[in-house]
Structure 1
């Protein structure tokens, strides 16, 4: 029978007043697939690409929800306790669940070098940037960590998982090449990306963009008037054609930015509406455009090229 993970140090769940419970598989069910619990839709897709036929998957934060604002439920505790493997991002992305995850899970970012990890400034403090998935090279590195854990979990399928990861890494290389080729249509003077919050720094670093995010790191903070006006001036100065909303943030704030630009005699288009939002902190729900990492990335790049070239 697969060894169950012990959950210790559940500060988050204690705060919610949740009593610990146990959920083990019944005797005689050793042929059942092991369960892999992951925190986000990115990892849910990653596990599917590598070992979808050999494990059952459980997701903590539903696709389409904002991880920054997610409040854990009692059912999440059960998912963690009953998992044979827990995979999470790390880099403080799951800040409200960090104690439970560090006690029971594996961070796919555990092998990142300090020099590879980006930082952001928030209220005068330097914060770790957790949005590593927008650097394809780092996403590959995280994929290799997940593959190692999965091979250990289901050793009978080690060869198949190894073949899957080899193929998937090749697909990620192809994606990276496609992104570079597609973005070549955007001239250097137009490579300004304005989004609600700081999710695209790794993207900007890899593909030579300048990023402005007036809302900063948090998705629920109000935009300071000084930050708003600074962004307005930048939009007008650089003749930025379009600014983008995100699938997990409030589009009204970007509309207010557009109004502020107009008040100073400029103009800018807000790219928003169904199918016209950038994916940042989540993939799309299964069955919708952008429900895999590769499709999400292509969706984002296609939008950028369409409105910035």
Structure 2
């Protein structure tokens, strides 16, 4: 009787072990989770990790990081992440403190002299990704953080990073060639939201944007009047909406310009806006950084060529 009981116990133990093995295998195969604040970082991590991690995006594609209000689920994604990466430079305004407590800013090792200061030096323009050299630095920073966190994937990550950096080098050459079509005197970019100062610095553009670097601010009547005078005085042929700006301000601007006898085109509408603070939703046009950058340059050259 004792022997039968012992055999039953052994059989139950063996059955339990066999049942647990698939669960242990599933756990072993679970991918680590990398939580990222913006679509730009999401795109970089996708390029580097080659589907070896789960990526949780906090600020949805198409949303404005300057205005984004955190949700309860965002805190869950932060607390449950294996690695948290955010842009920094106060781009994620309402989430800046919590992200700084738990994550790594991909701009943390930038040389301050390479960044653009605004408002008499009291703020830094966070839109550094329009400077392709700075963007490549953030790719390298993210690569190093991923390799440090997941050293068993170091060869894959470094190879993918090198390939992506080579693609960005090609993009840089393409941009320079494309902009040769646009004379320097025509390189005047008027937008409501001042997201293109880094682009302007690298490619000899003059940018005029009444709203400033953050979409948190409202455009005043005085700023509208000043912009009207600027457009008329410089005979600017087109002004550009971007994907995070309110089109009403540009309509008022167009009306004011018309009253002064100058006709200006508003470049906007579906597929015709400049991208600024987010990539397009996944699966749509311009859902990667390289596609977005090419779209912006094509749109600018097409509409500023007189």
Same fold (TM over 0.5): yes
- Which residue number in structure 2 is paired with residue 44 of structure 1? 42
Q: Report what 1:264 is aligned to.
A: 260
Question: Which residue of the partner structure matches residue 12 of structure 1?
Answer: none
Number of aligned positions between the proteins: 283
Equivalent-residue separation in structure 2 for 1:78 and 1:52 (angstroms): 24
Aligned position for 1:31: 29
CA contact (8 A) 2:65 2:93 kept: no
Q: Matches of 1:131 and 1:266 in 2, distance apart?
A: 31
Cα deviation digits, residues 81-128 of structure 1 (max 9, x gap):
11000000111111211111111111110110010111222xx77321
Tell me which structure has the larger Cα radius of gyration: 2
SS at match of 2:29: coil
2:214 is the alignment partner of 1:234 = no
User: In structure 2, how many angstroms separate the alpha carbons of the residues matched to 1:183 and 1:226?
Assistant: 33
Aligned counterpart in structure 2 of residue 282 of structure 1, from 278, 284, 287? 278
C-alpha separation between the residues in 1 aligned to 2:153 and 2:174? Answer: 31
TM-score by length of 2: 0.89
SS of 2:239 mapped into structure 1: strand
Whole-Å Cα distance in 2 between the matches of residues 77 and 225 of structure 1?
Answer: 39
CA shift at 1:198, angstroms?
1.2
Structure 1 range deviating more: 176-185 or 72-81: 176-185
Using the size of structure 1 for normalisation, the TM-score is 0.88
SS in 2 for 1:193: strand
Query: What is the Cα deviation at residue 221 of structure 1?
Result: 2.6
Q: How does 1:67-86 map to 2 (within 5 A)?
A: 67-86=65-84
Structure 2 gaps of 5+ residues are: 1-23
| Pairing 1:1-309 to 2, within 5 Å after superposition | 29-121=27-119, 126-309=122-305
Q: Write out per-residue CA displacement over residues 12-61 of structure 1, whole angstroms, 9 at most, x where no aligned residue.
A: xxxxxxxxxxxxxx997233111000000111111001103211100000
Q: For the Cα contact (< 8 Å) 2:64–2:277, is it kept in 1?
A: yes
Q: Could you say what secondary structure the match of 2:207 adopts?
A: strand
Structure with a larger share of its residues in helix = 2
Deviation at 1:234, TM superposition (A): 1.3
Task: Answer yes or no: is the 8 Å Cα contact 1:44–1:59 preserved in 2.
Answer: yes
Find the counterpart in structure 1 of residue 11 from structure 2: none
Please list every run of at least 4 consecutive aligned residues from structure 1 whose deviation after the TM superposition is greater than 2 angstroms: none
Aligned Cα root-mean-square deviation (Å)? 1.6
Shift, 1:238, TM fit: 1.2
